[in-house]
A and B are shown apart, each in its own frame.
Chain A
Amino acid sequence: QLQLQESGPGLVKPSETLSLTCTVSGGSISSASDYWGWIRQPPGKGLEWIGSVYYSGSIYYNPSLMSRVTISADTSKNQFFLKLRSVTAADTAVYYCTRIPTWIPLPDPWGQGTLVTVSS
């Protein structure tokens, strides 16, 4: 059964870089059948797709975040990563990692999510 688990600091200072890791088990991020993505949800608000990475190295970003985001992957560790630079309080959110099947790009399953708070 495919499982995803986010990890990383729960507190980041303003202007610094948020860094998260998603570890995938029960499946391979080298699969041609899937993208691997990040989605976030500010407290009490809706969901926002951040970006996705494909095994070939193709990476797609939300245009609204593109200038600050880097997504990458390490197939040897079956992990993919999120870096968000120059964070502000508006980046405080629960960050989810997820699989996005190529045959129908609707995220499933999701990790449990990790809350990242931006505060000094």
Chain B
Amino acid sequence: DIQMTQSPSSLSASVGDRVTITCRASQGIGNDLGWYQQKPGKAPKRLIYGASSLQSGVPSRFSGSGSGTEFTLTISSLQPEDFATYYCLQHNSYPPLTFGGGTKVEIK
């Protein structure tokens, strides 16, 4: 099975900072990757699909890049509502679906 390794597991940042989260796949997955945002007590929300396509309604400060085995989620200017946990998800080998371990973005 394809394993997804996400880093860092947590980070502290200030409002306005540029934040980058990385996800690495154990084998090539093309661009079959999505990114999700989860706030406490809520279900995850899809932000990015196809590694770099922005879900409708998601602010343009979010962007995704990468292909093959290395992917990044970038928040260009962190806003108060962006403090959350972010997960990558690969679907190249679906089934199964495989999530990364998550990155918690906290206020510095």
Binding site for B on A (CB under 8 A): 37, 46-49, 51-52, 60-63, 96, 100, 104-113
Min CB distance A48 to B, Å, is: 7
From known contacts A46-B87, A47-B87, A106-B89, infer whether A96 and B43 are also in contact, taking CB-CB under 8 Å: yes
Q: Which residues of B contact A112 (CB under 8 A)?
A: 42-43
Contact indicator B102/A110 (Cβ below 8 Å) = no
Contact indicator B49/A47 (Cβ below 8 Å) = no
Give how many B residues have a beta carbon under 8 Å from the other chain's beta carbons.
21
Contact indicator A60/B96 (Cβ below 8 Å) = yes
- 19 A-B contacts (beta carbon < 8 Å): A37-B97, A46-B87, A46-B99, A46-B101, A46-B102, A47-B87, A49-B96, A51-B95, A61-B95, A96-B43, A105-B91, A105-B94, A107-B97, A108-B46, A108-B55, A111-B43, A112-B42, A112-B43, A113-B43
Q: Please classify the interface of chain B as helix (H, G, I), strand (E, B), loop, or mixed, using the class held by over half of its residues.
A: loop
Q: Which residues of A contact B89 (CB under 8 A)?
A: 47, 106-107
Q: Which residues of B contact A105 (CB under 8 A)?
A: 91, 94, 97
Q: Which residues of A contact B49 (CB under 8 A)?
A: 104, 106
Centre residue among A49, A106, A113 by max chain B CB count within 10 A: A106
Q: Which residues of A contact B87 (CB under 8 A)?
A: 46-47
Min CB distance B77 to A, Å, is: 25
The answer, yes or no, to whether B1 is at the interface (CB within 8 Å) is: yes
